[in-house]
Amino acid sequence: YSFEPSSDLTSITLDGCSISILVNACHLPLTSQTESEDYMTWVHYVVLRIQPFSETRTTSAAVGLMLLQARSSYCPESGEEDVRKAIESARDAFPAWRSQTGRARSRILRRWYELVHENRDDLARLIWLENGKIISDAYGEVDFANSFLEWYSEEAARIYGDVIPHSSSGFQVSAVKEPVGVCAMLVPWNFPAAMVTRKLGPALAAGCTVVIKTAGETPFTANAIVVLAERAGVPKGAINVVTALDNTPLVGKALCQSDIVRKVSFTGSTRVGKLLMEQSASTLKKLSLELGGNAPFIVFNDADIDVAVQAAVASKFKSSGQTCVCANRFMVQSKIYPEFISRLKCAVSKLSVGLPGEDGTTMGPLISAAAADRMKLLVDESVREGAEIELGGHKRDEVGPAFFAPTILSNVQKDMRICKEEIFGPIAPVSRFDTEEDAINAANECDVGLASYLYTTSLNRSARCSTALQSGMVAINTGVISNAAAPFGGIKHSGVGREGGRYGLEEYLQIKTIVAGDTLADHRARL
């Protein structure tokens, strides 16, 4: 099919499926080098609205390319009726999907993985357009997202139960694992592809059907991934998408309070996670909540400083500091404190802030101008309380309203606000400590516990500290903590449950105990 770029709304019928294409061409961030076929590819993936996934609505949620502060295109603003239809669609699709063999679901997930790989370029473009990630990070996210589809395609056929010896003769006990049922998922904007597949992969592998509420700031990547799921053979109704920006609280409440929905998986702030838990209480749902963090980054005197600095740049400034496991509080032992600051400044000063699609850019914008304004407030408040700016500390308005310079603060004290809140931006506050006990006590002195980072060449110290740190994940001598095969999640106010690996699959399963009587066999001796 084809249409003119100047058209505003085009409706067509393709294979019996009603499709609405909403185009606001004058606001698309096209450059003079962009060819018309590139424009068509972008529109094809970005603004498809397919009725089995999302009901047509007359109202729309504006989605802004925050780096340009311009409206690009729209997704429907779903309401309670849309949520109800999506839940019922998932309920109706559940019996057939759960009845497929694990091997059959595995083949569909594998084909989905292959399609995502084949469309890697388009998906990466979508991520940098709507999220603002630099192109290398966008490609990295596509590959990371796809790793979950690959891993769970391999795991779908290996959901094992147990045969348990009974305490009395003549009985047999089996523990069988079954899909939970209809699952609701609420995903964040900072990983518009990876957070979708990290939840959908295990849910579909387990035999569950899904209603997914995508982030209002970044809905198009998820839409494209779901279109590819349908092409891979995921049946109608197994995945249902609702989109909302202004209506997000209403949609979340409707999902949590539904008796049909048996599980809710949410990635986002601790405040919202607690609210969703309250809203789910009356229906006693299974919950997976991956919430806020305040990751300590501890560097001991015996650490390899080059390794620590490289890891600091990776864990702090990736995606402009907008990940839940970003290093938040840098703690460096006194002896190496000056050298660490010096080397970190040298490494961070090489970062190039600019538009994500431009050659040479190594750090893009924050999600909004408001986020950049908050960074400035945190820096100014810290300086007033005695911190010193070693690098950056200011907005980059000449690039755009959502850009902030990569920043290093020294002489930071643990009671400053910047050490108590999740920064979610490109600011590295560095404090010093004297003893191992001081570092561990400071690291644990917060109500969240998602990730911790530890740098030492001492095997004994790494064992002691990884045990003592109160967090769900500990990275030793590395700045990368996420992997499809590893369980991801926190303790304390950082949430409940795990995503990734076989532990992530267990979140979408429930155990049924089957006790059979009158099973005593008449065993006879044979020569």
Give dist(CA 73, CA 369) in Å, integer. Answer: 19
Give dist(CA 162, CA 196) in Å, integer. Answer: 31
Where do we find the tokens 């095969």? 485
H-state helical runs in 349-486 = 369-384, 417-420, 436-444, 459-468
Residue 339 exposure: Cα atoms within 13 Å on the Cβ side? 13
Contact 460, 504 (CB under 8 A): no
- List of residues 6+ apart from 477 with CB closer than 8 A: 303, 304, 307, 308, 311, 454, 455, 456, 462
Coil/strand/helix, residue 59: coil
The CA distances from residue 296 to 340, 475, 515, in Å, are 16, 10, 48
Bridge partners for 14 per DSSP: 17
Catalytic residue among 217, 290, 390, 499: 290
Give dist(CA 45, CA 190) in Å, integer. Answer: 19
Contact 140, 151 (CB under 8 A): no
Q: Is 290 a catalytic residue?
A: yes
Coil/strand/helix, residue 155: helix
Give dist(CA 449, CA 357) in Å, integer. Answer: 35
Question: Please, what is the Cα angle at 64 between 30 and 77, to 5 degrees?
Answer: 125
User: Is the sign of the CA dihedral 110, 141, 308, 439 positive or negative?
Assistant: negative
CB atoms within 10 A of CB 517: 10
Give dist(CA 320, CA 247) in Å, integer. Answer: 27
Token reading at 224: 């494209």
Token reading at 218: 């970044």
What amino acid positions are annotated as catalytic residues? 290
